[in-house]
Structure 1
Amino acid sequence: MADEIPAVQILDKQNYFSQALVPLPNALPYAPLSSSSLRLRTSVLSLTVNNFTYAALGTALKWWDVHPLPPSTPAPYNDSSKYGRISAWGYAEVLESTVPSIPAGSHVWGYVPLGTLAEELSVKLHPEINDQIFVTSAHRQHVMPIYNRYFVYLPSTRTGAEISQKTAGVAYDASLRVMHATAFLMSGFVFSSDAALVVPPGPGPDDLASSDWSAQDADLADATVLIFAPGSKAAAIFAARLRGREGSEGRPRRILGVSSESSRAFVQSTGIYDDVLLTSEDPATVSIEGLNKANAGKLVVFDFGGRAGVAPRWTTALAQRHEDLLFVGVGSGLLDPSAVGAMFAKMAVKPPYRAVRVGADDMRRRAMKQVGEEKYWAEEARSWEGFRRDGIKGLGVTWGEGMGDVIKGWDRLAKGEVLPSEGLVYKL
């Protein structure tokens, strides 16, 4: 591995479906490591539709800046105005370290680059939580905090050994852990049945009293929940957490998936949803059990990335006959580069129904204020361990190896060829 010529994925920023695998022979040898730094090399990563979202919103949210083009990048790919690198979630191995408590051979979990080029990052230890570090490198200080937070696994730990063995649990970590975090925040805080835990979902004041969010908004007891893109990993985890509630915890009356025909079989097989509707149905006439009666109660629509604006279209129609309706934007579907401008334009138009959008970083910051940072991370970890053990029924993992397979997986995602029942995970 020491003599291997590193290679990285580089994207056309205007057409991020277009990629190149670029070898970097002049990147070697690596420069001596600075103090308080780690040299990290991606070990395991997962590809999901989220990777395309990072590219689509890379300029607006500074995601292109997290892993800049290396100085040894050859022309024409060294033009940072046109080309860039995006990231994935997964593990990176510590090749070298000047942090005494994190020896070489350790691993970190977090936001990792697509490539085999090792990177040097300056870090500091969390003052209270001994398995977390923060990146302090100057070029990353303007991005959201979660992208600079990494979890550390020493070689002697159980997880450290699993990472080296590339177990199924490690594949779940790479492909589902960040999805679980969003679902955990939504179900445990934004839509908590405990008024003392409720936090607002997106941008705005942190104080519940001064925000446009209330404990009543958060209450899903006896509500009907519609989930678009129900086969997406974040949606399935969120729905499973709602389904697992007892009556006193505010379990919805019904949890319904609204799926494409091609995804319906998988969504039904998960056993999470009470029923599965088809996006091809007419929302103006569709019959939803319990919602066509007087005093039908609250209807909450969660859009985890339904394609072609299907969730807003349904919500506009449903709002005509259901007054107590809330639309919650969570994610986006596969964004074609040519449609990004239109998406921003639509987001600027106020819809004819009440709508909110969740932001993981906003939710997490507020949740940590509510319960304390240490307690928050402990509870999230317990929740993740349970989900890691139980998983999603019907979801399989397809392992690939090397950057050649990563490139093929990116193309499959861009072409819409990856099944909802398939998780793409790669060993580098």
Structure 2
Amino acid sequence: MSQQANIHVVKKDNITEHATVPISYSTPSLEDGSILIRSALVSLTANNLSYAHLGAVLNWWDAYTVPSSLPAPYSDDSQYGIVPVWGYAEILESKISGLTPGQILFGFWPSHDLPVALRLKSADDCPGHFIEITDSRQNLMNLYNRYILRPDITPSSVSASTPQTDSLAWQSIFLGAGRYISRYVFGSPPIHPGLGSLPWTAEDADMSQAVIVSLSASGKTARVFQDALVGEREDKDGPLGWIGVTAGNGKGLIPQTKRFETKIVGYEDITSETLMRWIEGLKPKRLIIIDFASRGTSLQTLMTTLQSTPSLGSLPLTIIGVGSESKPHKPSDVTATLQSRAKMPNRVQMNMSGIRDRAIELLGAEKVFREGQKYWEGFMKRGGVEGMRLEWGSGIGGNEGIEGGWTRLCEQAVPSDVGMVFRV
């Protein structure tokens, strides 16, 4: 029997062009080792813009391709793609031992309500985890092919309006990349922020004598990093001081702490002599800039100011880039940005998948995920989302659906204190 679904598609060479396209379908027959799922509760964040900008480079377009049965021109996968989203999906049918209809998986899903089949195998390293093994997805990084069974969640709890559902929604938004910087890049065992297998020594990971600058400190990944600095590190681990650069008022960006000095400044203040004197007063032996997709040329401006300050310009400087500026870019601009980053000395672009792969190799998956869940519970208890709010949408098309959410992302109309989530 034919049924109806809606597919949100994005034009690959101009991601501001997008549409919701209806499609008729019949439930496919499942092969052994497969499940049929439908997206249930998903989020949209600045990460999704990155998935579109770099979809061809990092194979994100391969996660879920446009159905060939869509009307032209949307069926042309050289022009249109489906942007993947993080969240929860319901199992509709299963031919995998240990997975049954009605169960909920956390992972990387399509931004549509068409049921899709996944080929999964049980992960050898952690109970309740499954790995996608479809040939077309093997060029994706490991982070995006791992699915986690959530036996504590039911379809009704996903669709309900309860504190538990809110917590699930926030967890689909805060993926933990910020914590990985504190826990692994500047922790023990030390793990390289780009490719986890590259050399990264205990000296590289030592922030005990450093001043850290968070550019775009009000972003969601930045908030997690700042919380982890306070909530998950020993006193002796540093840093000496932390500076948050933000366009907002800075309220709630970092938990109160007596372990190190903190300071909130606006973008207009990063060249000020007052800020340079504040840094000098802490007598750092190292400077660390975490660039959480800062606006415009603010990173270059800050670097120039630091380097022209005699007592600071000679200090070792480490720059870690996280994500990209949350606005649409032309493909040529994306290429230019990547080339500019590659030329910048002492800068490494963070790769969460590479860090997690290395952490699993060194510590074991069970420990990595157990620690991550414990941290998440602490983050929420410490008021990690205080001052923020969820903006709920529903469905795929229209202003209230994923289509409207994508428009707001492209128009930079989603404040940093808002998390967009959708009941599909």
Deviations 1:172-226 (A, max 9, x none): 444445644212321111101x4xx1111113744xxxx2x32122111242111
| 1:61-80 matched pairs, under 5 angstroms | 61-80=58-77
Name the CA distance, whole Å, in 1 between partners of 2:255 and 2:14: 36
Structure-2 residue corresponding to 1:298: 286
The match for 2:186 among 191, 209, 212 is 191
Name the CA distance, whole Å, in 1 between partners of 2:125 and 2:413: 44
Q: Is the 8 A contact 2:214 2:245 kept in 1?
A: yes
TM-fit CA distance, 1:313: 2.6
User: Match of 1:400, SS?
Assistant: strand
| 1:298-377 matched pairs, under 5 angstroms | 298-321=286-309, 322=312, 323-338=315-330, 339-351=333-345, 354-377=346-369
Name the CA distance, whole Å, in 2 between partners of 1:236 and 1:377: 20
| 1:2-401 matched pairs, under 5 angstroms | 5-25=4-24, 28-154=25-151, 157=152, 162-165=157-160, 167-177=162-172, 179-192=174-187, 194=188, 197-203=189-195, 205-206=197-198, 211=199, 213-245=200-232, 248-260=235-247, 264-265=248-249, 267-272=250-255, 274-281=262-269, 283=271, 285-288=273-276, 290-293=278-281, 295-321=283-309, 322=312, 323-338=315-330, 339-351=333-345, 354-389=346-381, 390-401=383-394
- The residue type equivalent to 2:293 in the other structure is G
Q: Percent identity?
A: 28
TM-fit CA distance, 1:423: 0.6
**Cα 1:246/1:149, change in 2 over 3 Å:** closer
Q: Is the 8 A contact 1:220 1:252 kept in 2?
A: yes
Name the CA distance, whole Å, in 2 between partners of 1:181 and 1:269: 18
The answer for unaligned runs of 5 or more in structure 2 is 257-261
Structure-2 residue corresponding to 1:408: 404
Q: Is the 8 A contact 1:38 1:97 kept in 2?
A: yes
Q: Is the 8 A contact 1:185 1:367 kept in 2?
A: no
Corresponding residue pairs, total:
409
Q: CA RMSD in A?
A: 2.2
User: Match of 2:323, SS?
Assistant: coil
TM-score, scaled to structure 1: 0.89
Name the CA distance, whole Å, in 2 between partners of 1:76 and 1:300: 47
TM-score, scaled to structure 2: 0.90
TM-fit CA distance, 1:397: 0.6
Deviations 1:283-307 (A, max 9, x none): 2645245423484332211101101
Name the CA distance, whole Å, in 2 between partners of 1:244 and 1:294: 22
Q: Is the 8 A contact 1:284 1:318 kept in 2?
A: no
Name the CA distance, whole Å, in 1 between partners of 2:231 and 2:124: 35
Name the CA distance, whole Å, in 2 between partners of 1:152 and 1:377: 13
Q: Is the 8 A contact 2:197 2:358 kept in 1?
A: no
- The residue type equivalent to 1:181 in the other structure is G
Q: Is the 8 A contact 1:89 1:174 kept in 2?
A: no
The answer for unaligned runs of 5 or more in structure 1 is none
User: Match of 1:291, SS?
Assistant: helix
